[in-house]
Structure 1
Amino acid sequence: MHLEPGQLRLLALIDRHGSLSAAAGALGITAAAVTQQVARVERACGAPLVRRGPRGASLTAAGALLAAHGQVIDEQTRQAGAGLAALLGELSLRLRIGGFQAAALRLLPPALTALRHRHPDADLSVVDIGSEEGIPLVAAGDLDLAVIAAWDEVPTPPEHVRLHPLLTDPMVVVLPDDHPLAAGTGPLRLERLRDEAWVTIIAGHAARAQFDRVTAAAGFTPRVRFQTASYDVAQALVGTGIGVALVSRLTLGLAPGTVHRELARRGLHRRIYAATLADTTLTPLVDAFLHLLRDVARDLQ
């Protein structure tokens, strides 16, 4: 014997409304279709389930037993619909954001301020992440949007994640303010820094790989005096006179005793992207925030 949920729900409706025609109206089908379905389930059960009379229809003991299960299905269906509506309402207001430090300082605050003005009921959260964490966190559903940086190679996300270019962030050289090249004007050629001591990003990072590539192309092996994972630390160390450093323009701070110069070499930059799910239907604030991020990025170019 094979019973379908729809058949149990039909019997529950007949029991609730007391007639085949009323059950048909509740289902949006004809009374003839209900009659056919009742006959089909009675054949499957091998027992009468519905008594028809001049005042409507009632259920046999077997029909009443099955209708009780149909009522449970109806209630679970109602609860499922209500739960889904509540979830969709929560998702429509939710935005979970991740970003690396410079993005959290320069890109995210203006966009978040604008979003809160437009959507004051938004449920926002922001977490500090490394760029290499962004795509996996979005792919796993732990973040709705991640701002990440890439150097020489563009990341390849899984099919259900999309990268949105935001801006190109050029590298600049930071010098002690008493350095002979500090007072110069115009772009500085990297070759002029071949004899300097350097503060660099730690080996193994994508930023360091780019630095090693461009210095090799410029014809020298840099003398690395200090390594750090932070552009802020690098600028602070340059201020002590320990060496010079390449940092992204977006990370330029107010480290005492430093100045910066633009570089003449092309291709020395990082690209900044927003990573989101390819389908943002359930989280409409992602698209709204992405539009605001693009506005902020355009102002920073």
Structure 2
Amino acid sequence: MLVDPGQLRLLALIERHGSLTAAAHALQLTPAAVTQQVAKAERDWQMPLVTRGPRGATLTAAGALLASHGRTVEEASDRAEAELAALLGHLSLRLRIGTFQAAALHLLPPALTALRHRHPAADVSVMDVVSGRGVDEISAGHLDVAIVASWGKPLAPPPHLRAHSLLLDPMVVVLPDDHPLASRPADAELRLEQLRNESWVSILAGHAAREQFHDAAREAGFTPTVRFETESYDVAQALVGTGIAVALVSRLALTHAPGTTHRELAHPRPYRQLYAVTRTDASLTPLAGMLIELLHDVARDITATWEAPLRLRNS
């Protein structure tokens, strides 16, 4: 026969408490339910296990033998409960974050500072993860939150993941500070076709940002002359500072590198959308939800600084 650990534990509780009623209370069952379970155990084992009397219940020799194994089951159950509680307590304080460089520099730090003040004991780790890998890292269970970007197209994660929209990050033109177009007012918007004859620093071919740039140039009526390729907006801006090219850079990634200035693009302007990706069921990591709220707050503050000059210009 198959041994039912629940029956072993029940006998151990009857032995400990000396009555069916007390054992029922320990199991949060009714005395009638415990009586039925004892009767079933005696049928399964085909022998008497419990002797009922006016002063409670005692175990037969067979019942006592089974109860000795029941104590092992109960001890293992108690350990499992304690270890699970410890694990859940650890998970409730753990937060594994993946993010790309611009978000790590400008979006994440204020949110982490606020999170640390609310939960000083939080176990936080941050990994440098390119946007194209963030969703996969969440799916694999390696991260709790991934900050990713999508260039011009909405992010569509699989059903078990959720994408929380954070902000629209518009592209701007970074120019050498002695470029003829840099002499225009700082709030003057440029049209991409005004830069059709320039040499460009661009993100590496095959990246979504590069595809977006070529699409925007094509819509502006020209094919860009890309002289330099890089995977970093920081490197692109440093090269622009030498005066040898111009670049299309996200607003969030602006470094104001020496020798450079930037100008907004006239509408329609290219942009990237920033998201925080989590698992749909993030109940074991409550800090993930709190971080999302804080990232929304930071994103609103950043966007407000971008929009303030526009409001002043249009007032």
Same-fold call, TM cutoff 0.5: yes
More displaced stretch, 26-35 vs 202-211: 26-35
**TM-score, scaled to structure 1:** 0.95
Query: Is contact 2:171-2:269 (8 Å) kept?
Result: no
The structural deviation recorded for 1:55 is 4.3
* Distance in 2 (alpha carbons) for counterparts of 1:59 and 1:83: 31
Secondary structure of residue in 1 paired with 2:216: helix
* Distance in 1 (alpha carbons) for counterparts of 2:258 and 2:6: 75
Deviations 1:155-177 (A, max 9, x none): 22121211011111111111111
Judged with a 3 Å threshold, the aligned counterparts in structure 2 of structure 1 residues 267 and 82 are, in CA distance, closer, same or farther, namely same
Structure 2: which amino acid aligns with 1:253?
A: T
The residue aligned with 2:68 is 68
- Match status 1:264 vs 2:251: no
The residue aligned with 1:199 is 201
* Distance in 2 (alpha carbons) for counterparts of 1:32 and 1:224: 83
The residue aligned with 1:153 is 153
* Distance in 1 (alpha carbons) for counterparts of 2:177 and 2:24: 86
The residue aligned with 1:44 is 44
Deviations 1:35-94 (A, max 9, x none): 332222111111222233454333233222221222122111111111121112112222
* Distance in 1 (alpha carbons) for counterparts of 2:276 and 2:76: 39
Deviations 1:172-210 (A, max 9, x none): 111111111111131101111111111111100000000
* Distance in 1 (alpha carbons) for counterparts of 2:279 and 2:142: 11
Query: Is contact 1:2-1:44 (8 Å) kept?
Result: no
Query: Is contact 1:3-1:41 (8 Å) kept?
Result: no
Q: Which runs of 5+ in 1 are unaligned?
A: none
Secondary structure of residue in 2 paired with 1:148: strand
The structural deviation recorded for 1:228 is 0.5
Query: Is contact 1:92-1:284 (8 Å) kept?
Result: yes
Secondary structure of residue in 2 paired with 1:163: strand
Let me know the Cα RMSD of the aligned residues. 1.6
* Distance in 2 (alpha carbons) for counterparts of 1:28 and 1:219: 76
- Match status 1:174 vs 2:168: no
The residue aligned with 1:215 is 217
The residue aligned with 1:56 is 56
What count of residue pairs does the alignment treat as equivalent? 301
Matches for 1:1-301 after TM superposition, within 5 Å: 1-185=1-185, 186-301=188-303
Query: Is contact 1:163-1:274 (8 Å) kept?
Result: yes
* Distance in 1 (alpha carbons) for counterparts of 2:193 and 2:39: 90
Judged with a 3 Å threshold, the aligned counterparts in structure 2 of structure 1 residues 31 and 246 are, in CA distance, closer, same or farther, namely closer
* Distance in 1 (alpha carbons) for counterparts of 2:178 and 2:100: 31
Q: Percent identity?
A: 65
* Distance in 2 (alpha carbons) for counterparts of 1:118 and 1:155: 30
